[in-house]
Structure 1
């Protein structure tokens, strides 16, 4: 017998646990299950185990608004974040609802039944009224690995941060970290403490910005206020500062460029070194800024335990890497921190009434649903702020939609695809985003199809958003229509307006 639940959540990471918590609190009568491909809670924070793994957003905004962050660090280790998610699930009784080792491969929607049928890699089948994808957008199976010339000739240890080997010992060894993104700037100071030397090899510079490891405002607030109130103060302060800095960077990029250069100079004391290795060609926030807690990367460079080389790889050699400039870097260990591969909606094949949905050819509705796809939502965070800020707004919107459907006896809600599309869903020039643009839906050119990376605006408008706008609904009474009538109609059975059709591969 196929098991049925009201809501099926895919993913037991930061987003999935947050969605389950909101669902239990707001709609206690709903049945639900969480399908998790891995064998543990945590998602990204369980997957990545490389040295120094930590948040690149402050924990007062990355944590759940309903469960204050109580640890002293503002930028927390991956282990502490994983434990925080686990404890949240355990305390709320969510853990018992998770099916571990259950990877969703395919989900098919039937308009005659207004129901999803979800297939897993292990052969299990579940059905649900609503499907909510909370698996993020990383490909958990494969990181991005360029095919460097001569890589097969290298005799040292080559590793990728996404598949970090537990037995790797870099003590006293020469290490090269290829890349200059968030992973690389985390790895370099973490490995430099024990390695003979760590070289960060980058093709071009990246903006980095130091942040204190501990938040002085949060520390003071905790002394004066109860935990929830103190967390709200720290959270509000960090939201305002982050959004103000982002807007300043977009509108006054030269000013922010100068400020970031001055900060680097305070640590490194060498203008030529800063201009060669920490002066990007692009404007701040064309790509996500990399955070370095208390300037740890800069400090590792100042002590001589780490260095930066800006050049292109010509070829790997048996003992290291030869650069285009002719210089040779010898290494016992090479870490290929070359980026991630993205995968929309957790890699699930979506099929609506026998038609496979082309996610990359779809249009995103409010940044959380797809035009023409009924009773389906997916969760992604901001590119310019903490993931959880947007994820929590998405959870609340989905629940508002479900409440509306119950109140009006509706079986299905389908965003009606608009004419024309705008810019990509993920509006960054970062390589990992650019490589996957065709896989993700696009934005439209007007609300509710236009996505603004602005939490201050969204936190005011999303809770008040009209869930009926550009939305087609199917009454539960309409499910009684016969199949012949359905085949002769351009719209879903009993729908109150014509729905956009899912695009086909």
Structure 2
């Protein structure tokens, strides 16, 4: 949605407009954009460390939950274990290790209510722009709140809105799709109450969304086809892990959650390390699991043996081999081919084969988006994240008093989001104890080689490279993907090596 800005007719900063907006703005110490996992976690950590700070969470949707409120397709569940996906400070109480989407949403809602965080959320508030003013050391945020313009000012802003576009998922251009007589649905916008009972459903895609959805679809659909261009690696996990739950029962709730989280974080790190250092071994093990779960003579190498190495793209979790079992039972047909075109009754493939369908689900991925689509500027100069190095995984080069919560590509999102939240809380406490009113990371003239920000070859990463910040090759300017290493390096003593601090009424130390 397009919004008003504070630029004059010549494209420069309209200071009169800014001053007028600030006089009518609501002011708090910290504004958090987004009320999903990252936003709720940031609110708790900031208040935990700085109990007297005021804050607001601005959420564009009618409910909290972020991803777990947006996605409503059948079978939605976590694609990482819930013990690392849940908050370290609020233990997950249910038995399962892989949790359903509805249970995750309820956990987030209950947690936000228990800690009073939901009282600080402004729903239906779409932030459109954020501008930093060096004369006042404040951010001015403009938003659309239910069709009414709203203005907020703050000393610090946390972008906790994830990294993908909520409005526009990725859908390739399929020839003839407009001729298809059935329904075409993207999982990101699953229609409430959709009835696919007794229908032929084709799911295009082979990622985490497809593999979690398809076993659930078989419960009502007449026939389900998984149509993929390239296979993905499947890693079968149990929904419930009795040894983990035994440990949780033996210890107090928070201690048990801590142990479970670390066991599973270490296990996930081990899988990633083995996949990277011994890809041949990993491929053989994953193929063997598929082969043992499928009927003798099944074309495993066609449908379940990708041409790339494990963790070049994310591994897809399947629950208790449910997808393999559905294929073996004949409930799901696997097709590995390219789409030539759609017609009225279905899809014609490059091989010449046709697949009839009543419903086509385009589980074709996400579109990356920087900073939740908010137009960010510093004194009227636009900030392009892909032109800035990222500092300690969460601050952008020369952007003051702002953080961007980014999770890991090879581990649970919350592990990274919580490190960001703690870092922000520590930074705010450090600044306040010394009377600083701004802080920003500054690389200066130091030469910093670049490397890809996300170390995956997934389509959504390759398509959305322009939405990601620059990653250096050494700390603290490197977007790391090692939770263990980041935990060891999480101390405030590292912060002031490349951070510029200053106070109101004093000259700005360096140009931001």
Q: TM-score range by the shorter chain?
A: over 0.9
Contact 2:46 2:424 in 1 (8 A): no
| CA shift for structure 1 position 458 | 0.9
Instruction: Report the secondary structure of 1:410's partner residue.
Output: coil
Q: Following the alignment from structure 2 to structure 1, what is the Cα–Cα distance between the partners of residues 249 and 35?
A: 34
- 1:323 paired with 2:323, answer no
* Corresponding residue for residue 93 of structure 1: 116
Asked if the contact 2:377/2:383 (under 8 Å) is kept, the reply is yes
Does the alignment pair 1:439 with 2:462?
no
Partner residue of 1:248 out of 235, 255, 274: 274
CA contact (8 A) 2:49 2:426 kept: no
Residue from 473, 485, 501 that aligns with 2:501: 473
Distance in 2 (CA, whole Å) between partners of 1:465 and 1:194 is 56
Give the CA deviation at 1:390.
Answer: 0.9
**Offset, 1:421:** 4.1
Give runs of aligned pairs for residues 80-119 of structure 1, distance below 5 A. Answer: 80-119=103-142
Which aligned pairs between 1:119-130 and structure 2 lie closer than 5 A?
119-121=142-144, 122-130=148-156
Provide closer, same or farther for how the CA distance between residues 271 and 287 of structure 1 changes in structure 2, counting only shifts above 3 A.
farther
Q: CA deviation at 1:475?
A: 1.9
| 1:207 Cα deviation from its structure 2 partner | 0.7
For 1:358 and 1:393, locate their aligned partners in 2 and report how far apart those are by CA, in whole Å. 24
Find the partner of 1:414 among 426, 435, 440: 440
Compared with structure 1, are the counterparts of its residues 52 and 345 closer, same or farther at alpha carbon in structure 2 (3 Å cutoff)?
A: same
What is the Cα deviation at residue 451 of structure 1?
A: 2.4
Cα distance in 1 for partners of 2:390, 2:280 equals 33
Deviation, structure 1 residue 464: 4.8
- Contact 1:364-1:425 at 8 Å conserved across structures: no
What is the deviation of 1:476? 2.6
Tell me the secondary structure at the aligned position of residue 340 of structure 1.
coil
What is the alpha-carbon distance in structure 1 between the residues aligned to residue 90 and residue 243 of structure 2? Answer: 19
Q: 1:19 to 1:156 in 2, by over 3 A?
A: same
Select the residue among 66, 70, 80 that pairs with 1:43.
Answer: 66
Give the distance between the partners of 2:475 and 2:271, measured in 1 at CA. 25
Q: TM-score normalized by structure 1?
A: 0.94
Question: Is 2:164 the partner of 1:138?
Answer: yes
Asked if structure 1 preserves the Cα contact closer than 8 Å seen for 2:368 and 2:460, the reply is: yes
- For residues 293-335 of structure 1, give each alpha carbon's deviation from its aligned partner in whole angstroms, at most 9, with x where no partner exists: 1111111111100011000000001100000100010011110
Between the aligned partners of 1:450 and 1:219, the Cα distance in structure 2 is 36
The structure 2 residue matched to 1:226, chosen from 252, 255, 260, is: 252
How many Å apart are 1:465 and its aligned residue?
4.6
Name 2:15's counterpart in structure 1.
none
Match of 1:277 among 303, 308, 324: 303
Q: 1:238-317 counterparts in 2 under 5 A?
A: 238-270=264-296, 272-317=298-343
Residue 56 in 1 paired to residue 82 in 2? no
Identify the residue that residue 487 of structure 1 maps to in structure 2.
none
Structure 1 contact 217–234 (Cα < 8 Å) conserved: no
Q: Does 1:423 align with 2:424?
A: no
Where does residue 39 of structure 2 map in the other structure? 16
Q: 2:212 aligns with which of 183, 186, 190?
A: 186
Query: Which residue is equivalent to 1:482?
Result: none
Q: Distance in 2 between matches of 1:221 and 1:160?
A: 40
CA distance in 2, matches of 1:383, 1:102: 28
| Map of 2:193 onto structure 1 | 167
SS at match of 2:65: coil
The size of the alignment, in residue pairs, is: 484
Cα distance between partner residues in 1 of 2:466 and 2:448: 16
3-state SS of 2:451 partner? coil
- SS of the equivalent of 1:139 reads coil
Moved more, 201-210 or 166-175: 166-175
Structure-2 change in CA distance of 1:392 and 1:271 (3 Å): farther
Other-structure match for 1:457: 485
CA deviations 1:234-285 (Å, max 9, x no partner) are 1111011100110111110001000101111121144552111011111100
Q: Which residue of 1 aligns with 2:5?
A: none
Taking the TM superposition and a 5 Å limit, the aligned residue runs for 1:345-360 are 345-360=371-386
- Give the root-mean-square deviation of aligned CA atoms: 1.2
Do the aligned residues in 2 keep the contact of 1:193 with 1:305 (CA within 8 Å)?
A: no
- SS of structure 2 residue aligned to 1:279: coil
Report the 3-state secondary structure (helix = DSSP H, G, I; strand = E; otherwise coil) of the residue aligned with 1:307.
strand
Q: Return the alpha-carbon distance in structure 2 between the equivalents of residues 248 and 446 of structure 1.
A: 23
CA distance in 1, matches of 2:321, 2:162: 29
Partners of 1:7 and 1:228 in 2: CA distance = 28
Instruction: Quote how far apart the aligned CAs of 1:217 are.
Output: 2.0
CA–CA separation in structure 1 for the residues paired with 2:181 and 2:508: 66
State the alpha-carbon separation in 2 of the partners of residues 436 and 400 from structure 1. Answer: 31
Give the ranges of 4+ consecutive aligned residues of structure 1 lying more than 6 Å apart after TM superposition. none
CA distance in 2, matches of 1:209, 1:273: 18
- Alignment of structure 1 residues 322-341 onto 2, 5 Å: 322-341=348-367
SS class of match (1:473): strand
Question: Matches of 2:419 and 2:492 in 1, distance apart?
Answer: 11
SS at match of 1:432: helix
Task: Write the distance in 2 (CA, Å) between the matches of 1:301 and 1:269.
Answer: 9
SS in structure 2 of the partner of residue 233 of structure 1: helix
**Structure 2 CA distance for aligned equivalents of residues 400 and 227 of structure 1:** 26
Q: Select 2:231's aligned residue among 205, 225, 228.
A: 205
Describe the SS at the equivalent of 1:476: coil
CA distance in 1, matches of 2:386, 2:140: 22
- Please list the CA deviations of residues 188-244 of structure 1 after superposition, one character each: whole Å capped at 9, or x if unmatched: 111011111100000011111110000222221133222222212211110111001
Partner SS for 2:480: coil
